Amino acid sequence: MMKYNGILFSGKKIATLTLATALSMPLFAAEFITIGTGGVTGTYYPTGGAICRLVNQYKKETKIRCSVESTGGSVYNVNTIKNGELDFGTVQSDVVYQAYNGIKQFEGNKIEKIRSVMAIYPELFTLVARKDANIKNIMDIKGKRINLGNPGSGNEATALALFDVLGIKKSDLAFAGALKAAEMPDGIRDNKIDGYFYMVGHPTANIKDASNSVDVNIVPIAGPKVDAFVKANPYFAQADVPGGLYKGNDEPTPTFGVKAVLIASTDVSDTAVYTVVKAILENFDEFKTLHPAYAHITKESLLDGLSAPLHEGAKKYYKEAGLLK
């Protein structure tokens, strides 16, 4: 009898506990978020690290745990967010625009579940060339061995768009390389390529490595066709790679750029996105010291260059902070 009662009693107890656990889930369960970035020597990867560092210092209270993944870059990040395997990603603003609107390489692959969190810093389209390759301007790449970027990189996407307007075909090159970002400095040093394109926030470890191991030029990407291309696309802006950042390149070099945008999936909770934005904004001075590419950013500039709608969690914080009406 006792035993029988015992069994009944524990059955009830288990049911009660299960209900209690289910009800308390939203309060006590940790939420894990992963940010997809780029190659480890680029600027996305340390940016993901800087963000997670600020987010994780509150993990006891917020129960939100942030981690960073090195990836193939912008196009990979949006596609992987679509698949549900990444929560956040750093993505070039031209790629955000094309993915959200289903145009260019995203024709038939419209990615509607991406939302803007913040436009962090400018990235400039940079052509790094061996000095001995004699590449003085963008049109000189014909007949040369040029790395466009791995499939999935934003560099490759922007390079191909630029080729279109300049009337350059891949077959005009002696070799169109697909090395990953982290492999590009060795490629140029070992004379496997004459140059490489990189859409990146400056200064970056990647180009420092290259310029410290072989003589390189940052090549101007300018002229009437480039001007027209920049004017025709809202996500581009003319900009100079500053002089003095890389060995042998003391003068500014004209080119154009985009913004490096932090995006999130619509599947990520408003609370998690709000927590990320708050952690960055409330430690903004510290954040700015975490990478020299953030030298000129302001809280206001974070809202400049967004080409997908804001995530609700981000909107909530910006409104509270008076940055958005």
CA triplet 77, 99, 232: central angle to 5 degrees?
A: 125
CB nearer ligand GLU, residue 122 or residue 313: 122
CB nearer ligand GLU, residue 64 or residue 179: 179
Q: Which stretch binds ligand GLU (CB under 6 A): 37-45, 48-56, 78-86, 131-139?
A: 37-45
CB nearer ligand GLU, residue 199 or residue 268: 199
CB nearer ligand GLU, residue 40 or residue 165: 40
**What are φ and ψ of residue 213, in 5° steps?**
-110, -15
CB nearer ligand GLU, residue 152 or residue 313: 152
DSSP state of 125: E
CB nearer ligand GLU, residue 72 or residue 313: 72
CA triplet 76, 81, 83: central angle to 5 degrees?
A: 95
Taking the complex as a whole, the smallest distance from the CB of residue 73 to ligand GLU amounts, in Å, to 2
Taking the complex as a whole, the smallest distance from the CB of residue 76 to ligand GLU amounts, in Å, to 8
Dihedral of the CA atoms 153, 157, 163, 166 (nearest 10)?
A: -120
Q: Given the structure tokens 């390759």, which residue do they identify?
A: 133
Q: Counting contacts by CB under 6 A, is residue 38 touching ligand GLU?
A: yes
State which of positions 79-98 bind ligand GLU (CB under 6 A): 92
> Between 97 and 136, how does the x/- string for binding to ligand GLU read (CB under 6 A)?
--------------------------x-------------
Taking the complex as a whole, the smallest distance from the CB of residue 188 to ligand GLU amounts, in Å, to 17
Give Cβ neighbours of residue 253 (< 8 Å, ≥ 6 apart).
218, 219, 220, 240, 241, 243
Taking the complex as a whole, the smallest distance from the CB of residue 29 to ligand GLU amounts, in Å, to 32
From residue 314, give the alpha-carbon distance in Å to each of 7, 64, 84, 270, 303: 50, 15, 20, 8, 10
Closest CA to 49 of 94, 95, 90, 96: 90
Token pair for 182: 């982290």
Query: Which residue of 36, 42, 195, 203 would you call a contact of ligand GLU, by CB under 6 A?
Result: 42
Closest CA to 80 of 65, 95, 66: 95
DSSP state of 268: S
Q: Counting contacts by CB under 6 A, is residue 73 touching ligand GLU?
A: yes
Closest CA to 52 of 272, 269, 317: 272
Q: Counting contacts by CB under 6 A, is residue 43 touching ligand GLU?
A: yes
Beta strands in 165-315 (DSSP E): 175-177, 195-200, 216-219, 237-241, 253-265
State which of positions 191-220 bind ligand GLU (CB under 6 A): 199-201
CB nearer ligand GLU, residue 155 or residue 283: 155
> Between 239 and 278, how does the x/- string for binding to ligand GLU read (CB under 6 A)?
----------------------------------------
Q: Given the structure tokens 């954040």, which residue do they identify?
A: 287
Instruction: Report strand pairing: 237-241 vs 253-265.
Output: antiparallel
Query: Which residue of 36, 39, 48, 305 would you call a contact of ligand GLU, by CB under 6 A?
Result: 39
Contact 119, 299 (CB under 8 A): no
Q: Given the structure tokens 């750029």, which residue do they identify?
A: 257
Q: Which stretch binds ligand GLU (CB under 6 A): 15-23, 151-159, 188-196, 284-292?
A: 151-159
Q: Counting contacts by CB under 6 A, is residue 155 touching ligand GLU?
A: yes
Q: Counting contacts by CB under 6 A, is residue 74 touching ligand GLU?
A: yes
Q: Given the structure tokens 């180009």, which residue do they identify?
A: 207
> Residue numbers of the site for ligand GLU (CB under 6 A)?
38-39, 42-44, 73-74, 92, 123, 153-155, 181, 199-201
